[in-house]
Structure 1
Amino acid sequence: MSLQVYLNGQFVDKEQATVSVYDHGLLYGDGIFEGIRVYNGRVFMLAEHVERLYESALAIRLQIPISPDEMTAAVEETVARNGLKQGYVRLVVTRGAGTLGLDIRRTSNPQIIIIADTITLYPEELYENGLEIITASTIRNHPVALSPRIKSLNYLNNILAKIEATDAGCLEALMLNHRGEVAECTGDNIFIVKRGVLKTPTTDAGILEGVTRNVVMELARKANVPVVECTLDRHDIYTADECFLTGTAAEVIPVVKLDGRPIGDGQPGPVTRDLRERFQTFANGD
Protein backbone atom coordinates (compact mmCIF):
# COMPACT_ATOMS: atom_id res chain seq x y z
CA MET A 1 0.00 0.00 0.00
CA SER A 2 1.26 3.46 -0.89
CA LEU A 3 2.36 5.85 1.84
CA GLN A 4 -0.35 8.32 2.80
CA VAL A 5 0.65 11.98 2.70
CA TYR A 6 -1.28 14.68 4.51
CA LEU A 7 -2.02 17.48 2.05
CA ASN A 8 -4.15 20.37 3.27
CA GLY A 9 -6.44 18.32 5.47
CA GLN A 10 -6.70 15.31 3.17
CA PHE A 11 -4.74 12.06 2.96
CA VAL A 12 -3.59 11.06 -0.50
CA ASP A 13 -1.24 8.45 -1.95
CA LYS A 14 2.28 9.84 -2.14
CA GLU A 15 2.15 9.57 -5.94
CA GLN A 16 -0.82 11.95 -5.94
CA ALA A 17 0.61 14.42 -3.43
CA THR A 18 1.30 17.43 -5.64
CA VAL A 19 1.45 21.21 -5.43
CA SER A 20 1.20 23.88 -8.11
CA VAL A 21 4.25 24.71 -10.20
CA TYR A 22 3.41 28.32 -9.30
CA ASP A 23 3.86 27.62 -5.60
CA HIS A 24 6.37 30.05 -4.11
CA GLY A 25 7.87 27.22 -2.11
CA LEU A 26 9.04 25.74 -5.42
CA LEU A 27 9.78 28.99 -7.21
CA TYR A 28 11.63 30.77 -4.42
CA GLY A 29 12.15 28.41 -1.49
CA ASP A 30 9.47 30.48 0.22
CA GLY A 31 8.30 28.22 3.01
CA ILE A 32 9.33 26.45 6.18
CA PHE A 33 9.77 22.90 7.42
CA GLU A 34 10.55 20.64 10.34
CA GLY A 35 12.12 17.20 10.41
CA ILE A 36 10.85 15.09 13.31
CA ARG A 37 11.75 11.60 14.51
CA VAL A 38 9.36 8.82 15.46
CA TYR A 39 10.42 6.31 18.11
CA ASN A 40 8.21 3.34 19.04
CA GLY A 41 5.29 5.03 17.34
CA ARG A 42 5.74 8.21 19.41
CA VAL A 43 6.55 11.50 17.70
CA PHE A 44 9.68 12.79 19.45
CA MET A 45 9.67 16.33 20.88
CA LEU A 46 6.62 17.19 18.77
CA ALA A 47 5.60 20.23 20.81
CA GLU A 48 9.08 21.76 20.41
CA HIS A 49 9.10 21.15 16.66
CA VAL A 50 5.62 22.61 16.17
CA GLU A 51 6.56 25.66 18.24
CA ARG A 52 9.66 26.24 16.10
CA LEU A 53 7.60 25.81 12.92
CA TYR A 54 5.18 28.54 13.95
CA GLU A 55 8.05 30.80 15.03
CA SER A 56 9.65 30.37 11.60
CA ALA A 57 6.30 31.17 9.99
CA LEU A 58 5.94 34.31 12.08
CA ALA A 59 9.45 35.43 11.14
CA ILE A 60 8.71 35.23 7.39
CA ARG A 61 5.10 36.50 7.70
CA LEU A 62 3.59 33.21 6.59
CA GLN A 63 0.10 32.62 7.95
CA ILE A 64 -0.36 28.91 8.66
CA PRO A 65 -4.08 28.20 8.09
CA ILE A 66 -4.47 25.79 11.02
CA SER A 67 -3.68 26.11 14.72
CA PRO A 68 -0.68 24.51 16.47
CA ASP A 69 -3.02 22.02 18.14
CA GLU A 70 -4.51 21.06 14.77
CA MET A 71 -1.02 20.72 13.32
CA THR A 72 0.02 18.46 16.18
CA ALA A 73 -3.03 16.25 15.63
CA ALA A 74 -2.37 16.12 11.88
CA VAL A 75 1.23 14.94 12.43
CA GLU A 76 0.12 12.24 14.85
CA GLU A 77 -2.62 11.04 12.50
CA THR A 78 -0.18 10.90 9.57
CA VAL A 79 2.18 8.71 11.59
CA ALA A 80 -0.70 6.46 12.70
CA ARG A 81 -2.16 6.07 9.20
CA ASN A 82 1.20 4.91 7.88
CA GLY A 83 1.77 2.51 10.78
CA LEU A 84 5.14 4.11 11.44
CA LYS A 85 6.91 2.81 14.53
CA GLN A 86 10.46 3.98 13.82
CA GLY A 87 10.90 6.72 11.26
CA TYR A 88 10.86 10.34 10.27
CA VAL A 89 8.29 13.04 9.62
CA ARG A 90 8.84 15.90 7.21
CA LEU A 91 6.44 18.75 7.94
CA VAL A 92 6.35 21.43 5.25
CA VAL A 93 4.38 24.66 4.85
CA THR A 94 4.76 26.63 1.64
CA ARG A 95 3.62 30.15 0.82
CA GLY A 96 1.21 28.76 -1.77
CA ALA A 97 0.58 29.46 -5.43
CA GLY A 98 1.19 32.96 -6.74
CA THR A 99 2.56 34.81 -9.73
CA LEU A 100 6.04 34.77 -11.25
CA GLY A 101 7.03 37.62 -8.96
CA LEU A 102 8.10 38.07 -5.36
CA ASP A 103 5.05 39.88 -3.97
CA ILE A 104 3.56 37.67 -1.24
CA ARG A 105 0.29 39.60 -1.48
CA ARG A 106 -0.29 37.83 -4.78
CA THR A 107 -0.02 34.37 -3.28
CA SER A 108 -2.83 32.36 -1.76
CA ASN A 109 -3.65 29.02 -0.17
CA PRO A 110 -0.52 28.01 1.79
CA GLN A 111 0.18 24.30 1.38
CA ILE A 112 0.55 22.04 4.43
CA ILE A 113 2.35 18.80 3.64
CA ILE A 114 3.15 16.07 6.15
CA ILE A 115 5.21 13.04 5.06
CA ALA A 116 5.85 10.08 7.37
CA ASP A 117 8.52 7.68 6.11
CA THR A 118 11.74 5.97 7.09
CA ILE A 119 15.18 7.60 6.93
CA THR A 120 18.80 6.52 7.14
CA LEU A 121 21.22 9.42 7.10
CA TYR A 122 24.47 7.57 7.86
CA PRO A 123 25.50 3.90 7.71
CA GLU A 124 25.27 2.14 11.08
CA GLU A 125 29.02 1.40 11.19
CA LEU A 126 29.78 5.12 11.31
CA TYR A 127 27.92 5.42 14.61
CA GLU A 128 30.42 2.92 15.99
CA ASN A 129 33.55 4.06 14.18
CA GLY A 130 32.90 7.77 13.63
CA LEU A 131 32.65 10.18 10.72
CA GLU A 132 35.45 11.86 8.84
CA ILE A 133 34.47 15.39 7.80
CA ILE A 134 36.03 18.35 5.98
CA THR A 135 35.71 22.10 6.33
CA ALA A 136 33.66 23.52 3.48
CA SER A 137 34.69 26.69 1.68
CA THR A 138 31.00 27.59 1.51
CA ILE A 139 30.22 29.56 4.66
CA ARG A 140 26.93 29.89 6.51
CA ASN A 141 24.64 32.68 5.36
CA HIS A 142 25.25 35.95 7.18
CA PRO A 143 22.78 35.96 10.10
CA VAL A 144 21.87 39.59 9.44
CA ALA A 145 20.84 38.68 5.90
CA LEU A 146 18.76 35.66 6.91
CA SER A 147 18.30 34.46 10.46
CA PRO A 148 19.53 30.86 10.86
CA ARG A 149 16.74 30.39 13.40
CA ILE A 150 14.28 30.32 10.49
CA LYS A 151 14.11 26.75 9.22
CA SER A 152 13.24 27.71 5.66
CA LEU A 153 12.96 25.70 2.46
CA ASN A 154 15.99 27.53 1.07
CA TYR A 155 18.83 25.09 1.81
CA LEU A 156 21.05 25.89 -1.16
CA ASN A 157 23.80 27.17 1.15
CA ASN A 158 23.88 23.81 2.94
CA ILE A 159 23.59 21.83 -0.29
CA LEU A 160 26.65 23.54 -1.78
CA ALA A 161 28.67 22.65 1.32
CA LYS A 162 27.35 19.08 1.17
CA ILE A 163 28.55 18.84 -2.44
CA GLU A 164 32.03 19.79 -1.25
CA ALA A 165 31.88 17.00 1.32
CA THR A 166 30.81 14.34 -1.16
CA ASP A 167 33.41 15.51 -3.68
CA ALA A 168 36.02 14.96 -0.94
CA GLY A 169 34.68 11.48 -0.19
CA CYS A 170 32.99 12.51 3.05
CA LEU A 171 29.37 12.48 4.16
CA GLU A 172 29.39 15.75 6.07
CA ALA A 173 31.15 19.12 6.09
CA LEU A 174 31.86 21.69 8.77
CA MET A 175 30.63 25.18 7.94
CA LEU A 176 32.18 28.37 9.28
CA ASN A 177 30.38 31.66 9.72
CA HIS A 178 31.22 35.05 8.21
CA ARG A 179 33.78 35.62 11.00
CA GLY A 180 35.58 32.34 10.30
CA GLU A 181 34.21 30.75 13.47
CA VAL A 182 32.75 27.26 13.70
CA ALA A 183 28.99 27.34 13.09
CA GLU A 184 27.52 23.92 12.31
CA CYS A 185 27.61 21.18 9.72
CA THR A 186 25.36 21.00 6.66
CA GLY A 187 22.57 19.26 8.55
CA ASP A 188 23.78 18.89 12.12
CA ASN A 189 24.95 20.84 15.15
CA ILE A 190 28.50 20.19 16.36
CA PHE A 191 29.92 19.53 19.84
CA ILE A 192 33.41 18.95 21.18
CA VAL A 193 34.68 17.58 24.48
CA LYS A 194 37.81 19.15 25.98
CA ARG A 195 39.11 18.13 29.42
CA GLY A 196 35.69 16.78 30.34
CA VAL A 197 33.78 19.92 29.32
CA LEU A 198 31.15 19.75 26.56
CA LYS A 199 31.36 22.76 24.24
CA THR A 200 29.17 23.88 21.34
CA PRO A 201 28.84 27.12 19.35
CA THR A 202 26.44 29.76 20.62
CA THR A 203 23.29 30.60 18.67
CA ASP A 204 24.84 33.91 17.55
CA ALA A 205 27.48 31.93 15.64
CA GLY A 206 24.83 31.57 12.92
CA ILE A 207 23.40 28.16 13.77
CA LEU A 208 19.97 26.60 13.85
CA GLU A 209 19.04 26.01 17.47
CA GLY A 210 18.54 22.28 17.06
CA VAL A 211 15.93 20.38 19.05
CA THR A 212 18.28 17.40 19.40
CA ARG A 213 21.09 19.80 20.37
CA ASN A 214 19.00 21.08 23.26
CA VAL A 215 18.07 17.56 24.37
CA VAL A 216 21.71 16.45 24.38
CA MET A 217 22.81 19.47 26.40
CA GLU A 218 20.14 18.75 28.99
CA LEU A 219 21.13 15.06 29.13
CA ALA A 220 24.77 16.10 29.64
CA ARG A 221 23.86 18.40 32.52
CA LYS A 222 21.88 15.62 34.18
CA ALA A 223 24.97 13.41 33.83
CA ASN A 224 27.04 16.14 35.56
CA VAL A 225 28.97 16.94 32.40
CA PRO A 226 29.71 20.70 32.29
CA VAL A 227 28.15 22.34 29.21
CA VAL A 228 29.46 25.57 27.70
CA GLU A 229 28.08 27.48 24.72
CA CYS A 230 30.98 29.49 23.37
CA THR A 231 32.88 30.69 20.32
CA LEU A 232 34.83 27.90 18.64
CA ASP A 233 37.26 27.90 15.75
CA ARG A 234 38.83 25.04 13.81
CA HIS A 235 41.78 24.94 16.19
CA ASP A 236 39.33 23.93 18.93
CA ILE A 237 38.05 21.06 16.80
CA TYR A 238 41.53 19.93 15.78
CA THR A 239 42.70 19.85 19.39
CA ALA A 240 39.52 18.47 20.98
CA ASP A 241 39.48 15.21 22.91
CA GLU A 242 36.20 14.21 21.27
CA CYS A 243 33.75 15.53 18.71
CA PHE A 244 30.22 14.59 17.70
CA LEU A 245 27.24 15.87 15.74
CA THR A 246 23.58 16.04 16.65
CA GLY A 247 20.47 16.34 14.54
CA THR A 248 16.98 14.94 14.14
CA ALA A 249 18.00 12.61 11.33
CA ALA A 250 21.58 12.06 12.50
CA GLU A 251 20.70 11.68 16.20
CA VAL A 252 24.15 11.57 17.91
CA ILE A 253 27.10 10.53 15.75
CA PRO A 254 30.84 10.74 16.56
CA VAL A 255 33.36 12.61 14.42
CA VAL A 256 36.90 11.23 14.43
CA LYS A 257 38.64 13.33 11.76
CA LEU A 258 38.44 16.89 10.46
CA ASP A 259 40.35 17.81 7.30
CA GLY A 260 42.34 14.59 7.57
CA ARG A 261 43.44 15.32 11.15
CA PRO A 262 42.48 12.79 13.82
CA ILE A 263 40.44 14.18 16.69
CA GLY A 264 41.65 12.86 20.05
CA ASP A 265 42.84 9.29 19.53
CA GLY A 266 40.85 8.99 16.29
CA GLN A 267 38.12 6.91 17.96
CA PRO A 268 34.70 7.82 19.39
CA GLY A 269 35.31 8.98 22.95
CA PRO A 270 33.68 7.95 26.22
CA VAL A 271 31.57 11.11 26.66
CA THR A 272 30.26 10.78 23.11
CA ARG A 273 29.39 7.12 23.60
CA ASP A 274 27.69 7.82 26.92
CA LEU A 275 25.61 10.69 25.57
CA ARG A 276 24.62 8.68 22.52
CA GLU A 277 23.41 5.88 24.78
CA ARG A 278 21.56 8.33 27.04
CA PHE A 279 19.92 9.92 24.02
CA GLN A 280 18.74 6.58 22.64
CA THR A 281 17.32 5.63 26.03
CA PHE A 282 15.53 8.96 26.36
CA ALA A 283 14.23 9.00 22.77
CA ASN A 284 12.89 5.46 22.92
CA GLY A 285 11.26 6.05 26.30
CA ASP A 286 13.22 3.26 28.00
Structure 2
Amino acid sequence: MQIYIDGNWVGKEDAKISVFDHGLLYGDGVFEGIRIYGGTIFRLKEHVRRLYDSARAILLTIPMEEEEMATLLCEAVAKNNKTDGYIRLVITRGMGDLGINPATCSTASVIVIVDDISLYPEEHYTKGIKVITASTRRNSPDAVDPRIKSLNYLNNIMAKLEAQQAGCLEAILLNREGKVAECTGDNIFYLRDGVLFTPASDQGALKGITRDAVIEAAEGIGMETRATPTTQYDLYTADECFLTGTAAEMIPVTTIDGRSIGDGTPGLGTAKVREAFQALIQKEI
Protein backbone atom coordinates (compact mmCIF):
# COMPACT_ATOMS: atom_id res chain seq x y z
CA MET A 1 0.00 0.00 0.00
CA GLN A 2 1.26 3.44 -0.99
CA ILE A 3 -0.15 6.41 0.92
CA TYR A 4 0.32 10.01 -0.17
CA ILE A 5 1.18 12.55 2.52
CA ASP A 6 2.19 16.07 1.52
CA GLY A 7 4.15 15.20 -1.59
CA ASN A 8 5.57 11.87 -0.42
CA TRP A 9 4.50 8.29 -1.04
CA VAL A 10 5.02 6.06 1.99
CA GLY A 11 4.04 2.61 3.16
CA LYS A 12 1.29 2.04 5.71
CA GLU A 13 3.77 1.63 8.59
CA ASP A 14 5.45 4.94 7.76
CA ALA A 15 2.24 6.94 7.22
CA LYS A 16 2.38 9.42 10.09
CA ILE A 17 1.26 12.94 10.93
CA SER A 18 2.41 15.30 13.66
CA VAL A 19 0.68 15.21 17.06
CA PHE A 20 0.41 18.99 16.56
CA ASP A 21 -1.74 18.57 13.44
CA HIS A 22 -5.01 20.44 14.02
CA GLY A 23 -6.93 17.72 12.22
CA LEU A 24 -5.93 15.35 15.03
CA LEU A 25 -6.18 17.88 17.85
CA TYR A 26 -9.46 19.57 16.91
CA GLY A 27 -11.04 17.76 13.97
CA ASP A 28 -10.15 20.79 11.85
CA GLY A 29 -10.27 19.61 8.27
CA VAL A 30 -12.40 18.05 5.55
CA PHE A 31 -12.49 14.72 3.75
CA GLU A 32 -14.04 12.67 0.98
CA GLY A 33 -14.74 8.96 0.67
CA ILE A 34 -14.68 7.90 -2.98
CA ARG A 35 -15.38 4.57 -4.73
CA ILE A 36 -13.29 2.92 -7.42
CA TYR A 37 -15.15 0.69 -9.87
CA GLY A 38 -13.40 -1.14 -12.69
CA GLY A 39 -10.31 1.01 -12.23
CA THR A 40 -12.38 4.20 -12.62
CA ILE A 41 -12.95 6.71 -9.84
CA PHE A 42 -16.72 7.09 -9.54
CA ARG A 43 -17.89 10.68 -9.94
CA LEU A 44 -14.40 12.04 -9.46
CA LYS A 45 -15.31 15.58 -10.51
CA GLU A 46 -18.25 15.73 -8.09
CA HIS A 47 -16.18 14.47 -5.15
CA VAL A 48 -13.34 16.91 -5.80
CA ARG A 49 -15.81 19.80 -6.15
CA ARG A 50 -17.50 18.89 -2.85
CA LEU A 51 -14.11 18.68 -1.13
CA TYR A 52 -13.12 22.16 -2.27
CA ASP A 53 -16.55 23.56 -1.41
CA SER A 54 -16.20 22.14 2.11
CA ALA A 55 -12.71 23.62 2.40
CA ARG A 56 -13.84 27.05 1.20
CA ALA A 57 -16.69 27.02 3.70
CA ILE A 58 -14.22 26.68 6.60
CA LEU A 59 -11.56 29.02 5.13
CA LEU A 60 -9.16 26.14 4.51
CA THR A 61 -6.80 26.59 1.56
CA ILE A 62 -5.91 23.33 -0.16
CA PRO A 63 -2.34 23.63 -1.49
CA MET A 64 -3.16 22.46 -5.04
CA GLU A 65 -5.74 23.19 -7.71
CA GLU A 66 -8.76 20.96 -8.31
CA GLU A 67 -7.34 19.55 -11.54
CA GLU A 68 -4.09 18.65 -9.80
CA MET A 69 -6.04 16.92 -7.03
CA ALA A 70 -7.98 14.85 -9.55
CA THR A 71 -4.72 13.81 -11.20
CA LEU A 72 -3.25 12.90 -7.80
CA LEU A 73 -6.21 10.63 -7.01
CA CYS A 74 -5.82 8.82 -10.33
CA GLU A 75 -2.10 8.39 -9.60
CA ALA A 76 -2.92 6.95 -6.16
CA VAL A 77 -5.25 4.37 -7.69
CA ALA A 78 -2.61 3.38 -10.25
CA LYS A 79 0.17 3.13 -7.64
CA ASN A 80 -1.97 0.80 -5.54
CA ASN A 81 -3.16 -1.29 -8.51
CA LYS A 82 -6.78 -0.99 -7.43
CA THR A 83 -9.52 -2.10 -9.78
CA ASP A 84 -12.29 -1.92 -7.19
CA GLY A 85 -11.78 -0.17 -3.88
CA TYR A 86 -12.12 2.97 -1.82
CA ILE A 87 -10.24 6.26 -1.54
CA ARG A 88 -10.10 8.27 1.67
CA LEU A 89 -8.96 11.80 0.84
CA VAL A 90 -8.20 13.91 3.91
CA ILE A 91 -7.26 17.58 4.16
CA THR A 92 -6.24 18.81 7.61
CA ARG A 93 -5.54 22.38 8.69
CA GLY A 94 -1.97 21.20 9.18
CA MET A 95 0.55 21.44 11.98
CA GLY A 96 0.17 24.35 14.38
CA ASP A 97 0.42 25.44 18.00
CA LEU A 98 -1.67 24.08 20.82
CA GLY A 99 -4.92 26.03 20.91
CA ILE A 100 -7.64 26.22 18.29
CA ASN A 101 -6.29 29.27 16.43
CA PRO A 102 -6.06 28.13 12.78
CA ALA A 103 -3.69 31.01 11.98
CA THR A 104 -0.86 29.05 13.65
CA CYS A 105 -1.11 26.41 10.90
CA SER A 106 0.96 27.51 7.94
CA THR A 107 0.01 24.88 5.34
CA ALA A 108 -2.80 22.36 5.04
CA SER A 109 -1.86 18.68 4.82
CA VAL A 110 -3.09 16.42 2.02
CA ILE A 111 -3.47 12.69 2.68
CA VAL A 112 -4.66 10.08 0.17
CA ILE A 113 -5.33 6.47 1.21
CA VAL A 114 -6.43 3.79 -1.26
CA ASP A 115 -7.74 0.59 0.29
CA ASP A 116 -10.71 -1.76 0.54
CA ILE A 117 -13.77 -1.06 2.67
CA SER A 118 -16.72 -3.14 3.84
CA LEU A 119 -19.17 -1.52 6.22
CA TYR A 120 -21.70 -4.33 6.43
CA PRO A 121 -21.57 -8.13 6.08
CA GLU A 122 -22.66 -9.25 2.61
CA GLU A 123 -25.74 -11.10 3.90
CA HIS A 124 -27.30 -7.81 5.00
CA TYR A 125 -27.48 -6.62 1.40
CA THR A 126 -29.90 -9.44 0.65
CA LYS A 127 -31.68 -9.71 4.01
CA GLY A 128 -31.65 -6.07 5.12
CA ILE A 129 -30.66 -4.48 8.41
CA LYS A 130 -32.34 -3.27 11.59
CA VAL A 131 -31.91 0.35 12.63
CA ILE A 132 -32.99 2.51 15.55
CA THR A 133 -33.67 6.19 15.98
CA ALA A 134 -30.89 7.69 18.11
CA SER A 135 -31.60 10.03 21.01
CA THR A 136 -28.57 12.00 19.81
CA ARG A 137 -29.81 14.81 17.54
CA ARG A 138 -28.10 15.86 14.32
CA ASN A 139 -25.95 18.97 14.63
CA SER A 140 -28.13 21.93 13.75
CA PRO A 141 -27.61 23.32 10.22
CA ASP A 142 -27.47 26.84 11.69
CA ALA A 143 -24.46 25.75 13.77
CA VAL A 144 -22.50 23.57 11.32
CA ASP A 145 -23.82 23.28 7.78
CA PRO A 146 -24.24 19.55 6.95
CA ARG A 147 -22.87 20.18 3.46
CA ILE A 148 -19.43 20.64 5.07
CA LYS A 149 -17.91 17.16 5.15
CA SER A 150 -15.65 17.84 8.11
CA LEU A 151 -13.32 15.61 10.11
CA ASN A 152 -15.41 16.08 13.26
CA TYR A 153 -17.80 13.12 13.30
CA LEU A 154 -18.41 12.92 17.06
CA ASN A 155 -22.11 13.65 16.55
CA ASN A 156 -22.37 10.65 14.21
CA ILE A 157 -20.21 8.47 16.43
CA MET A 158 -22.42 9.05 19.46
CA ALA A 159 -25.43 7.90 17.45
CA LYS A 160 -23.47 4.91 16.13
CA LEU A 161 -22.68 3.88 19.71
CA GLU A 162 -26.39 3.96 20.51
CA ALA A 163 -27.06 1.68 17.56
CA GLN A 164 -24.40 -0.79 18.63
CA GLN A 165 -25.68 -0.86 22.21
CA ALA A 166 -29.14 -1.66 20.83
CA GLY A 167 -27.73 -4.50 18.73
CA CYS A 168 -28.14 -2.64 15.43
CA LEU A 169 -25.73 -1.58 12.72
CA GLU A 170 -27.10 1.89 12.07
CA ALA A 171 -29.04 4.72 13.71
CA ILE A 172 -31.28 7.43 12.33
CA LEU A 173 -30.49 10.98 13.38
CA LEU A 174 -33.32 13.48 13.82
CA ASN A 175 -32.79 17.21 13.59
CA ARG A 176 -33.79 19.53 16.41
CA GLU A 177 -37.32 19.85 14.98
CA GLY A 178 -37.71 16.08 15.16
CA LYS A 179 -37.52 15.55 11.41
CA VAL A 180 -35.38 12.76 9.92
CA ALA A 181 -31.98 14.04 8.78
CA GLU A 182 -29.84 11.02 7.86
CA CYS A 183 -28.09 8.04 9.43
CA THR A 184 -24.63 8.03 11.00
CA GLY A 185 -22.84 7.56 7.71
CA ASP A 186 -25.58 7.20 5.11
CA ASN A 187 -28.52 8.98 3.55
CA ILE A 188 -31.93 7.35 3.94
CA PHE A 189 -34.70 6.70 1.40
CA TYR A 190 -38.15 5.18 1.62
CA LEU A 191 -40.70 3.98 -0.92
CA ARG A 192 -44.45 4.45 -0.61
CA ASP A 193 -46.97 3.73 -3.38
CA GLY A 194 -44.18 3.54 -5.95
CA VAL A 195 -42.73 6.98 -5.13
CA LEU A 196 -39.16 7.28 -3.81
CA PHE A 197 -38.72 9.78 -0.96
CA THR A 198 -35.64 11.10 0.83
CA PRO A 199 -35.22 13.83 3.46
CA ALA A 200 -34.66 17.28 2.03
CA SER A 201 -31.00 18.30 2.24
CA ASP A 202 -31.84 21.38 4.31
CA GLN A 203 -33.14 19.12 7.11
CA GLY A 204 -29.61 18.33 8.28
CA ALA A 205 -28.46 15.68 5.79
CA LEU A 206 -25.22 15.63 3.86
CA LYS A 207 -25.90 16.18 0.17
CA GLY A 208 -24.55 12.76 -0.71
CA ILE A 209 -23.04 11.97 -4.08
CA THR A 210 -24.33 8.40 -3.94
CA ARG A 211 -27.70 9.85 -2.87
CA ASP A 212 -27.78 11.98 -6.02
CA ALA A 213 -26.68 9.05 -8.18
CA VAL A 214 -29.47 6.86 -6.76
CA ILE A 215 -32.05 9.58 -7.46
CA GLU A 216 -30.71 9.84 -11.01
CA ALA A 217 -30.86 6.06 -11.44
CA ALA A 218 -34.41 5.86 -10.08
CA GLU A 219 -35.64 8.66 -12.32
CA GLY A 220 -33.92 6.92 -15.23
CA ILE A 221 -36.28 3.95 -14.85
CA GLY A 222 -39.31 6.21 -14.61
CA MET A 223 -39.67 6.30 -10.83
CA GLU A 224 -40.95 9.51 -9.28
CA THR A 225 -38.61 10.92 -6.61
CA ARG A 226 -39.22 13.58 -3.97
CA ALA A 227 -36.88 15.27 -1.48
CA THR A 228 -39.16 16.35 1.33
CA PRO A 229 -39.30 16.82 5.10
CA THR A 230 -39.53 13.34 6.61
CA THR A 231 -40.85 12.12 9.96
CA GLN A 232 -40.48 8.87 11.85
CA TYR A 233 -44.11 8.14 10.96
CA ASP A 234 -43.21 8.32 7.26
CA LEU A 235 -40.51 5.69 7.78
CA TYR A 236 -42.62 3.44 10.03
CA THR A 237 -45.44 3.33 7.47
CA ALA A 238 -43.25 3.05 4.36
CA ASP A 239 -43.50 0.13 1.95
CA GLU A 240 -39.70 -0.14 1.73
CA CYS A 241 -36.62 1.62 3.06
CA PHE A 242 -32.91 1.66 2.23
CA LEU A 243 -29.70 3.55 2.99
CA THR A 244 -27.13 4.93 0.56
CA GLY A 245 -23.52 6.02 0.92
CA THR A 246 -20.19 5.82 -0.85
CA ALA A 247 -18.93 3.02 1.39
CA ALA A 248 -22.28 1.29 2.01
CA GLU A 249 -23.56 1.78 -1.56
CA MET A 250 -27.23 0.67 -1.20
CA ILE A 251 -28.44 -1.44 1.72
CA PRO A 252 -32.06 -2.34 2.55
CA VAL A 253 -33.61 -1.54 5.93
CA THR A 254 -36.22 -4.04 7.12
CA THR A 255 -36.83 -2.93 10.72
CA ILE A 256 -36.89 0.54 12.34
CA ASP A 257 -37.32 0.89 16.09
CA GLY A 258 -38.74 -2.64 16.28
CA ARG A 259 -41.28 -2.01 13.49
CA SER A 260 -41.15 -4.13 10.35
CA ILE A 261 -41.00 -2.06 7.18
CA GLY A 262 -43.47 -3.43 4.65
CA ASP A 263 -43.43 -7.19 4.99
CA GLY A 264 -40.09 -7.12 6.79
CA THR A 265 -38.00 -8.14 3.78
CA PRO A 266 -36.16 -6.12 1.10
CA GLY A 267 -38.75 -5.10 -1.49
CA LEU A 268 -38.99 -5.22 -5.26
CA GLY A 269 -38.78 -1.43 -5.54
CA THR A 270 -35.48 -1.39 -3.68
CA ALA A 271 -34.18 -4.18 -5.93
CA LYS A 272 -35.16 -2.23 -9.05
CA VAL A 273 -33.45 0.94 -7.83
CA ARG A 274 -30.33 -1.01 -6.85
CA GLU A 275 -30.23 -2.65 -10.29
CA ALA A 276 -30.57 0.76 -11.95
CA PHE A 277 -27.84 2.17 -9.71
CA GLN A 278 -25.48 -0.68 -10.63
CA ALA A 279 -26.26 -0.09 -14.31
CA LEU A 280 -25.42 3.59 -13.87
CA ILE A 281 -22.06 2.64 -12.35
CA GLN A 282 -21.29 0.30 -15.24
CA LYS A 283 -22.19 3.02 -17.71
CA GLU A 284 -19.67 5.41 -16.15
CA ILE A 285 -16.67 3.07 -15.93
* CA displacement at 1:123 relative to structure 2: 0.8
3-state secondary structure, aligned to 1:214: helix
Q: Does 1:240 align with 2:238?
A: yes
* CA displacement at 1:194 relative to structure 2: 0.5
* CA displacement at 1:284 relative to structure 2: 3.3
3-state secondary structure, aligned to 2:75: helix
TM-score w.r.t. length of structure 2: 0.98
1:28-47 residue pairs with structure 2 within 5 A? Answer: 28-47=26-45
1:204-223 residue pairs with structure 2 within 5 A? Answer: 204-223=202-221
Q: Which residue of 1 is the match for residue 139 of structure 2?
A: 141
User: What is the distance in 2 between the residues matched to 1:274 and 1:245?
Assistant: 14
Pick from 145, 152, 155: which aligns with 2:153? 155
1:259-274 residue pairs with structure 2 within 5 A? Answer: 259-274=257-272
Q: Which residue of 2 is the match for residue 70 of structure 1?
A: 68
Q: Could you list the per-position Cα deviations for residues 172-193 of structure 1 after superposition, in whole angstroms to 9, with x for gaps in the alignment?
A: 0111001000110000000000
Runs of 4+ in 1 over 6 A off after TM superposition: none
Q: Could you list the per-position Cα deviations for residues 10-62 of structure 1 after superposition, in whole angstroms to 9, with x for gaps in the alignment?
A: 21111111111001000000000000001111111111000000000000000
Q: Does 1:187 align with 2:188?
A: no
Alignment check: 8 A CA contact 2:218 2:277 kept? no
1:1-286 residue pairs with structure 2 within 5 A? Answer: 3-285=1-283
3-state secondary structure, aligned to 1:276: helix
* CA displacement at 1:104 relative to structure 2: 1.2
Q: Could you list the per-position Cα deviations for residues 115-160 of structure 1 after superposition, in whole angstroms to 9, with x for gaps in the alignment?
A: 0000111111100010110010001001111000000000000000
TM-score w.r.t. length of structure 1: 0.98
| Alignment-mate amino acid for residue 98 of structure 1 | G
* CA displacement at 1:105 relative to structure 2: 1.1
* CA displacement at 1:106 relative to structure 2: 1.0
| Alignment-mate amino acid for residue 201 of structure 2 | T
User: What is the distance in 1 between the residues matched to 2:36 and 2:168?
Assistant: 27
| Alignment-mate amino acid for residue 188 of structure 2 | I
Runs of 5+ consecutive residues of structure 2 not aligned to the other structure: none
User: What is the distance in 2 between the residues matched to 1:87 and 1:279?
Assistant: 17
Q: Could you list the per-position Cα deviations for residues 229-264 of structure 1 after superposition, in whole angstroms to 9, with x for gaps in the alignment?
A: 111100000000000000000101110000110000
Alignment check: 8 A CA contact 2:221 2:276 kept? no
3-state secondary structure, aligned to 1:200: strand
User: What is the distance in 2 between the residues matched to 1:282 and 1:230?
Assistant: 24
Aligned CA-pair RMSD: 0.8
Alignment check: 8 A CA contact 2:134 2:163 kept? yes
Which segment is superposed worse, 271-280 or 125-134?
271-280
Aligned-pair identity (%)? 56
| Alignment-mate amino acid for residue 256 of structure 2 | L
Aligned residues: 284
User: What is the distance in 1 between the residues matched to 2:148 and 2:229?
Assistant: 21
Runs of 5+ consecutive residues of structure 1 not aligned to the other structure: none
User: What is the distance in 2 between the residues matched to 1:284 and 1:7?
Assistant: 31
User: What is the distance in 2 between the residues matched to 1:192 and 1:221?
Assistant: 15
3-state secondary structure, aligned to 2:74: helix
